[in-house]
Amino acid sequence: MESKRSDWFYDLAYLTSYTVMTLGFSLRTVGVSNMPHHGPVLILANHESYFDPPLVGVAVRRRIGYLARKTLFRNRYFSWLIHNLGAVPIDQDGVGREGLQTSVSILKAGKPLLIFPEGERSPTGDMLPFKPGVMLVLRRCPVPILPVGIAGAYESFPRNRKLPLPSPLFWTRTGGGMAVSVGKLIPPESYQGLEREAVLSMLFDAVASEVRRAELLVR
């Protein structure tokens, strides 16, 4: 009964996010078929705004888990939305001890996990260097990696704004809106045995490539 209720809440949260992102912010997606339908996947994406988790969730069309600061759960309605979209509250940003345990448990349960390797929202919209915390997860649980690029979310909801700037689907101006590009899977054998910096560089380049592809959709 609890599982059915949870699924119902997720479906409602997904539909809410899809409707708002598509109609209110002209969301476009590409590469959706690259997301596997089953099994554990580590989704890595750039971090532009608060919109990023639901954006990725809508794009990959599969229930995902992701780590979120407990402070994000203060707002009653936002808390309901992100909780039902798979957010797991932790005390800190990034992949600390608590985040590592939670991440590994999600992946070992055969579920997708979303991590933002930059560790924070970009203050400028440009990608930040990846922090090494993601390597802790991969060493404990080597799984396929799905690179995802987000574009337009910073312009729609930058870090210094309290409210977002909509880009309605039927707006007459050209460009604008938000886009998500889903890349091809990176199998574990592609990164196992490599030095940490080499893996981080490879993953950064993979996500950056998808960001550039997403940017083409919002110009």
Q: Select 2-215's CATH number: 1.10.240.10, 3.40.1130.10, 3.40.718.10, 3.40.720.10.
A: 3.40.1130.10
Average pLDDT, the chain: 88
Residue 89: predicted pLDDT: 73
**What's the pLDDT at 1?**
43
Distance of alpha carbon 131 from alpha carbon 134, whole angstroms: 7
Long-range contacts of 154-163 (CB under 8 A, 24+ apart): 154/48, 154/49, 154/122, 154/124, 154/125, 155/125, 156/25, 156/49, 156/51, 157/49, 157/50, 157/51, 158/49, 158/125, 159/49, 159/121, 159/122, 159/123, 160/123
pLDDT of residue 2: 41
Given a cut of 70, whether residue 125 has pLDDT beyond it is yes
Model confidence over 11-60: pLDDT tens digits? 888 898 999 999 999 999 999 999 999 999 999 999 999 899 889 999 99
Quick one: average pLDDT of 113-137?
92
User: Worst-scoring range by mean pLDDT, 83-97, 120-134, 151-165?
Assistant: 83-97
Q: How confident is the model at residue 144 (pLDDT cuts 50, 70, 90)?
A: very high
**Tens of pLDDT, residues 92-111:** 555 666 678 888 999 999 99
Residue whose token pair is 């922090």 = 131
pLDDT > 90? residue 91: no
Residue 128 has pLDDT above 50, yes or no: yes
